[in-house]
């Protein structure tokens, strides 16, 4: 019996879809059976980031309206045997998806997969309600900005009313270390204190991430980048391992190290 995790944020553009893709990929790298569900009807992106756009035949609305079987709509990833994607509909009417339909799909997928990662649309309307309907736990993504933290707070309030198995957990995305140090960005501790939920990971703002998303290759596939390690760490924490938060300090060059040594 698998576990369904919804990735949500309230505000748009904080990196829900990228986070979903990378957590899913990282879990698959650890030999877990993972299914990704895109619930952003009309504005689907998850397939693009996963590089699976050209394989879509059926989508989630087709499944709910009975035009195909769930298994037919699932797209198998090109890199992993047990990583699948249930894409959102691009054209269909939004109201086609209901909370009951979502619950059914999720519980069916739970029979076969270890983890169901649900990518939630922005906002708090029906799309959000659908996305959290079948979920067992929630991960809230925020960036170190006031507006995004405010929306995360609102979302956490709504999730807490849902009586999920566990309280939601937090990912702080797009951290720019030098700005945080200067006090131009909200501090990690301040955000955690305000939102009062457990932190499950921090991810630095990384240009490589944009490159990877454009290529349709989630960054967590390549182990050379800091943000890739961040996502893998988050996946390990989801599995219940204790992994310390990585330091966001920039690696210093050789000359800088010597300068620092002599305190120049």
Partner 1 sequence: MQETKPTITIKGTRDGLILFIDENSSFEEILQDLIKKLDASTPQKEEPVVSVKVKLGHRYLTEEQRHQLKEIIEEKNRFQIEAMESDVIPIKDAKTWLDESQLKVVNQIVRSGQVLETKGDLLLIGDVNPGGRVRASGNIYIMGNLLGIAHAGIDGDQEAFIAASYMKPAQLRIAEYISRAPDYEADGVYMECGIIDPDQNKIVIDSIKTLSKQRKVISAFERRMNNG
Residue labelled with tokens 């030999």: 31
Minimum distance from residue 183 beta carbon to partner 1 (Å): 11
Q: Give the one residue of 165, 196, 210, 258 binding partner 1; rule: CB under 8 A.
A: 196
Residue 234 near residue 200, CB atoms below 8 Å: yes
Minimum distance from residue 201 beta carbon to partner 1 (Å): 21
Minimum distance from residue 202 beta carbon to partner 1 (Å): 21
Q: Give the one residue of 156, 171, 202, 229 binding partner 1; rule: CB under 8 A.
A: 156
Q: Which two tokens stand for residue 101?
A: 């339909």
- Does 208 bind partner 1 (CB under 8 A)? Our answer is no
Q: Give the one residue of 40, 47, 119, 151 binding partner 1; rule: CB under 8 A.
A: 151
Task: Report the half-sphere exposure of 244 (CA within 13 A, side-chain side).
Answer: 3
Q: Which is nearer to partner 1, 77 or 151 (CB)?
A: 151
Q: Give the one residue of 67, 69, 76, 154 binding partner 1; rule: CB under 8 A.
A: 154
d(CA 109, CA 136): 13
Residue labelled with tokens 């693009």: 48
d(CA 9, CA 143): 9
- Does 150 bind partner 1 (CB under 8 A)? Our answer is yes
- DSSP assignment of 49-93 equals HHT-GGG--S-HHHHHTTSS-HHHH-EE-SS-TTEEEEPPPSSS-
The interface region with partner 1, picked from 112-120, 127-135, 154-162, 204-212 by CB under 8 A, is 154-162
The interface region with partner 1, picked from 44-52, 194-202, 217-225, 252-260 by CB under 8 A, is 194-202
Which residues, in sequence order, are CB contacts of 158 under 8 Å at separation 6+? 124, 128, 132
Residue 21 near residue 28, CB atoms below 8 Å: no
Q: Give the one residue of 153, 176, 221, 226 binding partner 1; rule: CB under 8 A.
A: 153
The interface region with partner 1, picked from 14-22, 34-42, 192-200, 226-234 by CB under 8 A, is 192-200
d(CA 135, CA 184): 35
Minimum distance from residue 137 beta carbon to partner 1 (Å): 18
Binding site for partner 1 (CB under 8 A): 150-151, 153-154, 156-158, 160, 194-196
């Amino acid at each position: 019996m698998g576990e369904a995790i919804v990735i949500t944020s309230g505000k748009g553009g904080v990196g829900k879809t990228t986070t979903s893709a990378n957590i899913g990929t990282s879990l698959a790298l650890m030999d877990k059976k993972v299914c990704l569900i895109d619930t952003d009807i009309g504005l689907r992106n998850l397939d693009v980031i996963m590089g699976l756009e050209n394989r879509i035949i059926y989508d989630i609305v087709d499944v709910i309206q009975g035009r195909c079987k769930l298994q037919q709509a699932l797209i198998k990833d090109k890199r992993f045997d047990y990583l699948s994607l249930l894409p959102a509909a691009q054209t269909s009417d939004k109201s086609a998806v209901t909370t009951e339909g979502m619950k059914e799909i999720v519980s069916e997928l739970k029979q076969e997969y270890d983890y169901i990662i649900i990518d939630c649309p922005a906002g708090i309307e029906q799309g959000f309600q659908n996305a959290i309907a079948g979920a067992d736990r929630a991960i809230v993504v925020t960036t170190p900005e006031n507006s995004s933290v405010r929306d995360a707070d609102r979302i956490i309030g709504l999730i807490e009313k849902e009586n999920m198995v566990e309280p939601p957990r937090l990912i702080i995305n797009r951290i720019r270390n030098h700005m945080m140090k200067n006090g131009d960005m909200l501090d990690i501790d301040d955000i955690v204190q305000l939102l009062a939920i457990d932190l499950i990971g921090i991810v630095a703002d990384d240009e490589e991430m944009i490159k990877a998303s454009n290529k349709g290759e989630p960054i967590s596939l390549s182990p050379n980048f800091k943000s890739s390690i961040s996502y893998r760490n988050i996946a390990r924490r989801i599995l219940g391992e204790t992994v310390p938060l990585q330091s966001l300090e920039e690696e210093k060059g050789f000359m800088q190290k010597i300068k620092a040594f002599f305190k120049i």
